[in-house]
Amino acid sequence: MAQIFWIASLGHVVFAGILVAMQIPAMIVLSVVCILANLVALVLHRRLQLKQAMTVKMAVTLLMLSIGIWWVGPDAGFEYYFFLLLCEILISDLSVRYKVGMSVAIGSVALMAIMLPSYGIPWVTRDASVSRALQVINLMMVFLVLGGIMWRLHAITERCEHHFRRDATHDYLTKVPNRRAIFHEADMLWHQQRHFTLLLLDADHFKQVNDTYGHTVGDEVLRHLAYIVRGALREEDRLGRVGGEEFLIVFPDSTRDEALTVASRIRRCLEEQPCCLETLTLPVTFSMGLAASDEVASVQELIALADRRLYRAKSAGRDQLVMSDLEIVGPATL
């Protein structure tokens, strides 16, 4: 909403300049008052007094519009601004009750201002050419301000949609794709009939880390692991967190040997860069299970195969990589 106050203030500044050129002193004074009211509203908004800020802005603007209609009549385009005010109210983050009340107030003031002669209050007579010029100017101003508001709303919507999409597909703790997203990557490759390899990794003795040092330290270890693995991957490789301390790497168009090279790089990086906290250094290793898409008949079977091989790596003493039912690669080989 702060941007709306700035846009409105800028609009009043431009409009005041136009009124100076047209020599309408009373409206110039009202424009200056509206500029000051918008600045006051901006200050209130920054102090989180949102309702008061909007009320100040609306009250002064409605007063200006009523006087403007009375001064030059209903054919000068001031009535267009009532729709703009209604738009501002409806897109605000205020309560529904406040929005309904203010919408009724805007509609009531608009009707009263347009129907002034019915109450015995005549329009102040002005040159028809001035009214026509004001109508064009007011229409342009409403379009410009409304366009600015819509542009800001679009930018905010795009940003929120990006954040929501990222939150839906990424793990909050490690910032890598979550289980659903990484499985979707594998599923897409399978349906495209491309050859790919999966590497399932599980941090060894991670429960012991949590039990001994607490979950805060455990979270730091997970962040460190994600950072190390991400740095060891190639540009085309995809990493995701699929469980508590489990990660899955998808290697598109890659052989077992290429995946083994990356696995060796991950292990070497972990050995060279243990998780270092303020007063604690924790060396962490991975048990790994490797499976290729040409070994199975579905992507679900491929994930299950990698999981079985990971379990065998755990059973074989941890810090191991199982590549096939017959091949276990230990630390020395990696």
> Of 135, 168, 201, which residue sits at a domain end?
168
Q: What percent of the chain has pLDDT over 90?
A: 46
Task: Note the pLDDT of residue 273.
Answer: 92
The verdict on residue 173 lying in a domain is no
Same domain, 150 and 233: no
> Of 112, 143, 168, which residue sits at a domain end?
168
pLDDT digits (tens, 9 = 90+) for 42-85: 888 888 888 998 898 889 888 888 887 877 777 778 888 898 88
Q: For the chain, how big is the Rg over CA atoms in Å? A: 33
> Of 142, 168, 194, which residue sits at a domain end?
168
What number is the average pLDDT over the span 188-210? 95
Lowest mean pLDDT of 27-36, 181-190, 239-248, name the range.
Answer: 27-36
Same domain, 159 and 305: no
Same domain, 118 and 198: no
pLDDT digits (tens, 9 = 90+) for 290-303: 999 999 999 999 99
The verdict on residue 183 lying in a domain is yes
Same domain, 145 and 192: no
* Residue 332: pLDDT over 50: no
Same domain, 120 and 38: yes
Same domain, 160 and 192: no
Lowest mean pLDDT of 64-73, 106-115, 200-209, 274-283, name the range.
Answer: 64-73
Residue type, 109: V
For 258, the domain range is 179-329
What number is the average pLDDT over the span 159-186? 91
Q: Render 104-127 in DSSP notation, one character per residue.
A: HHHHHHHHHHHTGGGGT-PPPP--
The CATH number of the domain where 254 resides is what? 3.30.70.270
pLDDT digits (tens, 9 = 90+) for 115-161: 866 555 555 656 677 778 888 888 888 888 888 778 878 888 888 88
The verdict on residue 334 lying in a domain is no
Same domain, 21 and 159: yes
Q: Render 236-289 in DSSP notation, one character per residue.
A: T-EEEE-SSSEEEEEEET--HHHHHHHHHHHHHHHHHS-EE-SS-EE---EEEE
The verdict on residue 245 lying in a domain is yes
Residue type, 227: Y
What number is the average pLDDT over the span 6-34? 74
Q: Which element (helix H / strand E) includes 36?
A: helix 25-46
Most trustworthy range by pLDDT among 58-62, 235-239, 281-285, 329-333 = 235-239
The verdict on residue 111 lying in a domain is yes
Interacting residues of 29 by C-beta distance below 8 A, sequence separation 6+? none
Same domain, 249 and 198: yes
Same domain, 133 and 15: yes
What is the token pair recorded at 53?
A: 């800020």
Phi, psi (rounded to 5 degrees) for 249: -115, 130
Same domain, 120 and 240: no
258 tagged catalytic: no
Same domain, 149 and 10: yes
**Nearest residue to 323 via CA among 226, 308, 315, 332:** 308
**Inter-helix orientation angle 25-46/2-22, to 10°:** 170
Task: Note the pLDDT of residue 123.
Answer: 57
The verdict on residue 96 lying in a domain is yes
Q: In terms of DSSP bridges, do strands 321-322 and 286-292 run parallel, antiparallel, or are they unpaired?
A: parallel
Interacting residues of 57 by C-beta distance below 8 A, sequence separation 6+? 5, 8, 37, 38, 41
Domain count, the chain: 2
CA distances from 156 to 47, 134, 162 (A): 21, 33, 10
The verdict on residue 94 lying in a domain is yes
Same domain, 45 and 142: yes
Pick the catalytic residue: 88, 220, 245, 246? 245
* Residue 222: pLDDT over 80: yes
